[in-house]
């Protein structure tokens, strides 16, 4: 079956940098997604990687290594509003998404 | 405004009740999804509709019955639920469920409690 692994929880301080890792085992690969979900709200799309390398979008960047079945989300200059859960999802050969359980990011002033 | 709306936002029901969840998307998408989100667990895909045709049913118990009358509306009919069905039910839509780059847009969810 499909398996997506990411840390359950991470803690960081305001202004710092944090990297949230995601490893996957899926039947084929057609892209890795990151979503942000604030408590009690809907997940919202952050990034998409299908080719190896780093995609930069302002304070958030996402990286993919298909040979290692690994990706990460890098958050820089952390702000208190970044406190949320970050969901990794991988699309398989049938274009179906499998989701990780999410990484809860706790920020301290 | 995410373009995907869900009603009701909160629902409490007994095990013998029948209720329906409604989802509507205003994005012109062709695919719609139902997910179940339980605490500290991955999102569980329940059903997928692509161009009004059901393309995925992930071994969901028959007490959950989806309906997709058109590409903009999706329902989840509930009957004789169990307390373990209590969860957040999320609806999502995307341009197409069977092609490459395919970002999903989520609704705010319905928080369901089964007593």
C-alpha triplet B11, B13, B15: angle, nearest 5° = 150
Tell me, what's the pLDDT at A4? Answer: 96
Q: How far apart, in whole angstroms, are the C-alpha atoms of residue A104 and residue A85? A: 4
* Partner residue opposite A97 with nearest CB, options B2, B45, B90: B45
Q: How far apart, in whole angstroms, are the C-alpha atoms of residue B12 and residue A6? A: 32
Which pLDDT band, with edges at 50, 70 and 90, does B100 fall under?
Answer: low
* Partner residue opposite B108 with nearest CB, options A31, A42, A89: A42
Cβ pair A45:B105 closer than 8 A: yes
Tell me, what's the pLDDT at B87? Answer: 96
B41 to chain A: which residues are within 8 Å by CB? 101
The residue-averaged pLDDT of B56-84 equals 93
Residue A82 scores a pLDDT above 60: yes
Which pLDDT band, with edges at 50, 70 and 90, does A64 fall under?
Answer: very high
Q: What percent of chain A has pLDDT over 70?
A: 99
C-alpha triplet B59, B63, B68: angle, nearest 5° = 80
The residue-averaged pLDDT of B66-82 equals 95
Residue B99 scores a pLDDT above 80: no
Residue A70 scores a pLDDT above 70: yes
Tell me, what's the pLDDT at B49? Answer: 93
Tell me, what's the pLDDT at B101? Answer: 63
Structural element, H or E, at residue B3: none
- CA nearest neighbour of B36 among B114, B111, B104: B111
Closest-approach residue (CA) in chain B for A104: B40
Residue B89 scores a pLDDT above 60: yes
* Partner residue opposite B109 with nearest CB, options A8, A42, A98: A42
Q: What percent of chain B has pLDDT over 90?
A: 75
Q: Is A82 helix (H, G, I), strand (E, B) or coil?
A: helix
Q: How far apart, in whole angstroms, are the C-alpha atoms of residue A69 and residue A29? A: 9
Q: Please say whether the beta carbons of A90 and A2 come within 8 A.
A: yes
- CA nearest neighbour of A96 among B84, B58, B2: B58
* Partner residue opposite B41 with nearest CB, options A89, A97, A101: A101
Diameter over CA atoms, chain A? 43
B89 to chain A: which residues are within 8 Å by CB? none
Cβ pair B103:A100 closer than 8 A: no
Structure tokens at B61: 């118990």
Q: Please say whether the beta carbons of B114 and B90 come within 8 A.
A: no
- CA nearest neighbour of B33 among A49, A91, A14: A91
Tell me, what's the pLDDT at B98? Answer: 78
Lowest mean pLDDT among A40-44, A62-66, A77-81: A40-44
DSSP B61-110: -TTEEEEEEETTEEEEEEES--GGG-EEEEEEEES-SSSSS---EE---E
A33 to chain B: which residues are within 8 Å by CB? 103
Measured CA distances, A43 to A35, A51, A91, B69, B90 (Å): 6, 23, 17, 25, 9
Read off the pLDDT of residues B23-64 as tens digits, 9 standing for 90 and up.
999 999 999 999 999 988 889 999 999 888 888 777 899 999
Tell me, what's the pLDDT at B97? Answer: 80
Q: Which of residues 19-58 of A touch B (CB under 8 A)?
A: 30-31, 33, 41-45, 48, 50
> Nearest CA of chain B to the CA of A77: how many Å?
26
The residue-averaged pLDDT of B61-82 equals 95
Residue A95 scores a pLDDT above 90: no
Cβ pair A96:B56 closer than 8 A: yes
> Nearest CA of chain A to the CA of B88: how many Å?
9
Residue A54 scores a pLDDT above 70: yes
Which pLDDT band, with edges at 50, 70 and 90, does B4 fall under?
Answer: very high
């Amino acid at each position: 079956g499909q398996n997506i692994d990411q840390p359950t929880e991470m803690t960081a301080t305001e202004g710092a940098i944090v990297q949230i890792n995601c490893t996957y085992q899926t039947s084929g690969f057609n892209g890795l997604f990151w979503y942000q979900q604030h408590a009690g709200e809907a997940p919202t799309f952050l990034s998409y990687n299908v080719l190896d390398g780093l995609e930069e979008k302002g304070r958030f960047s996402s990286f993919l290594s298909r040979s290692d079945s690994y990706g990460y989300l890098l958050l820089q200059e952390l702000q208190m509003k970044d406190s949320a859960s970050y969901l990794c999802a991988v699309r398989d050969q049938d274009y179906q998404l499998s989701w990780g359980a999410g990484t809860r990011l706790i920020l301290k002033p | 405004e995410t373009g995907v709306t869900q009603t009701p936002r909160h629902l409490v029901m007994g095990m013998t009740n029948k209720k329906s969840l409604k989802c509507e998307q205003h994005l012109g998408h062709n695919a719609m999804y139902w997910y179940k989100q339980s605490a500290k667990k991955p999102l569980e895909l329940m059903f997928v509709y692509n161009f009004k045709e059901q393309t995925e049913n992930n071994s969901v118990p028959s007490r959950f019955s989806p309906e997709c009358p058109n590409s903009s509306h999706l329902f989840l009919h509930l009957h004789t639920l169990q307390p373990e069905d209590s969860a957040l039910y999320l609806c999502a839509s995307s341009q197409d469920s069977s092609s490459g780059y395919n970002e999903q847009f989520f609704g705010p969810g319905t928080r369901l409690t089964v007593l």
